[in-house]
Amino acid sequence: MTLRAIIFDVDGTLAETEEAHRHAFNEAFRDAGLDWRWDRDLYAELLAVAGGRERLRHYIARHRPDANLQESDIARLHHAKTAIYQGFITEGRIELRPGVEQILRTARKGGLRLAIATTTTRGNVLGLLAATLGTDSARWFEVIGAGEDSPAKKPDPGVYRHVVAALDMAPFDCLAIEDSAIGLAAASGAGIPTLVAPSVYTRGETFTGAAAVVEDLAAVTLADLRRWHAAATRPVTA
Ligand code: XBP
Ligand code: MG
């Protein structure tokens, strides 16, 4: 049970992206001639459903039951939202959270393997990495598990199981870094010890079962990660 790999969540963990996602949804609604507008309170509620397309479907069922939209309309709306969101990223509107770049670089130097497990669209991850860490940075991650790789979204452990299998590693030799309770549930469900650094939208959540909870990664060292991982995976002795 040695720490060999770190698996990063994206939205809320690598960067505070959810406001950009929210604005992108609102622009897509406006462009489609819909008078829907997601404010912060509503979005906080909707974040219980991971995955943008799933979130849209849930919103329509719960708040717009009379909207006559087919699955193809939802796909089109989500596609438009994704293009708008990626525009925000290339404009450089999103930066990494404190400490993220430093932990990625020290982990690489320290010989740890890196991976990503997210519910968001793959293109969003690649765009974010390119805009913040440079065009080559996607190569730092041996596996990028994205929304397209797991039909069931977090809290389902599917995407983490996919990543661990692709890494060909035991889950307890990895450490996940997450920002939300549903992300923690997904990683834990796959048997992966998890460090939580809550984001603006998840600060009020409870993180029972986390290996540790920190405000952000600014002061976190590789030694801290190894210590939290070891404590989380230590067998219980009588
Ligand atoms: C958080 C999410 C994402 C985004 C929307 O993902 O729920 O779905 O809000 O992304 P993470 P898409 O697992 O990285 O925290 O619209 O591309 O699905
Ligand atoms: Mg997240």
CATH code of 182's domain: 3.40.50.1000
Return the residue whose CA atom lies nearest to atom 1 of ligand 1: 11
Predicted pLDDT at 238: 52
In contact, 124 and 82? CB cutoff 8 Å = yes
Predicted pLDDT at 237: 63
Residues counted in the chain: 238
Predicted pLDDT at 14: 98
Dihedral of alpha carbons 100, 102, 103, 109, sign: positive
Mutate to test the pocket of ligand 1, among 18, 21, 40, 78 (most ligand atoms within 8 A of CB): 21
14 CA from centroid of ligand 2 (Å): 8
CA 12-17-23 angle, to 5 degrees, is: 140
Alpha-carbon span 187 to 167, nearest angstrom: 15
| Domain annotation covers residue 131 | yes
For 35, counting Cβ atoms within 10 Å of its Cβ (0-12 exposed, 13-18 middle, 19+ buried), the class is exposed
Nearest ligand 1 atom, CA 10: 14
Count other Cβ atoms within 10 Å, centred on residue 228. 21
- Tokens 């990625």 appear where? 104
DSSP 8-state assignment for residue 138: G
- Whether residue 101 sits in one domain with residue 80: no
Predicted pLDDT at 35: 96
Low-confidence ranges of the chain (pLDDT < 50): none
11 CA from centroid of ligand 1 (Å): 6
Nearest to 25 by CA among 68, 70, 58: 58
10 CA from centroid of ligand 2 (Å): 6
- Whether residue 123 sits in one domain with residue 10: yes
Last residue of a domain, one of 90, 109, 134: 90
Q: Distance from first CA to last CA of the chain, Å, rounded?
A: 19
Dihedral of alpha carbons 203, 209, 214, 217, sign: negative
- Whether residue 210 sits in one domain with residue 135: yes
Return the residue whose CA atom lies nearest to atom 7 of ligand 1: 50
Alpha-carbon span 157 to 94, nearest angstrom: 27
Which residues, other chains included, contact 126 with Cβ-Cβ below 8 Å and sequence gap of 6+? 138, 144
Asked about 11 being catalytic, the answer comes back as yes
* pTM (two decimals): 0.96
CATH code of 48's domain: 1.10.150.240
Q: Which domain holds residue 31?
A: 18-90
Asked about 35 being catalytic, the answer comes back as no
Predicted pLDDT at 1: 79
- Whether residue 152 sits in one domain with residue 101: yes
In contact, 231 and 194? CB cutoff 8 Å = no
